[in-house]
Amino acid sequence: MTDAQVHLQLYIDDVIRAGRERGVQVVVYHNGKLVIDIAAGITDVATGRPVAHDTLFPVFSCGKGLQATLMHMLVHRGLIEYDTPIAAVWPEFGRNGKDKVTLRHALSHTAGMPSMPVGVAQHEVCDWAAMVNRIAAMPLEWQPGTRQVYHAIIQGWLLGEVARRVDGRLFPQMLREEICEPLGTPDLYVGIPDSAQPRVAILDEIFEEGKRPTGIDDGVPRAIPSWIQPLH
């Protein structure tokens, strides 16, 4: 065990005891050599299950880089071009003024539609067909290419459906076959299989009294739905 591992372990243990973190994994490689490998705390307040070295933690927005990589691969293979209108491969998407939105707009977060579909319920986000139908029916918030606003959550379905239309595979399958298997990273998922569920750390936000989300969409266009934001 290296000195760095010992010192960082002591620090993380103090952080967890103080309640500033609940569960932590830290892995560091230097020149290809594993020098720090720490798992501490718990994954779930309900069960007290400890964090292990193979615990799966949710991560946010890292998927956008993976998704962009897959889109670049599809462009490289000649299946689509950056300036191809999305409606050319996904005709239903061209409604309500979206016929000029290109793959380049989507990749650069300038498509003019950063918000989630208004009124979408929490349970619907796991229904791919329902979500892409809602997105296809959405209007633009401004003309594509005129403003850049981060596609916080909608990006997954927006680019994922483009990929499905030109390649035929859903994004999780493409991720596994094109990135995870070649790189030897089997525990990277977008949509976990049932077999991995017991290893997942439970994300449990702490809200002030009276500010816990209701789980109901408030009807206001937002990049992040109201049902995963604290009320104000």
CA-nearest of 73, 103, 74, 77 to 88 is 103
> What distances in angstroms separate CA 133 from CA 13, 31, 90, 95, 142, one per listed residue?
47, 47, 11, 11, 20
Exposure string of 196-217, with b = 16+ CB inside 10 Å and e = fewer, is: eeeeebeeeeeeeeeeebeeeb
For the annotated catalytic residues, the residue numbers are 61
Tokens 């990929």 correspond to 163
Q: Give 107's contacts (C-beta < 8 A, 6+ positions apart).
A: 68, 71, 82, 159
Asked whether the beta carbons of 107 and 82 are under 8 A apart, the reply is yes
> What distances in angstroms separate CA 220 from CA 34, 43, 126, 193, one per listed residue?
47, 33, 21, 33
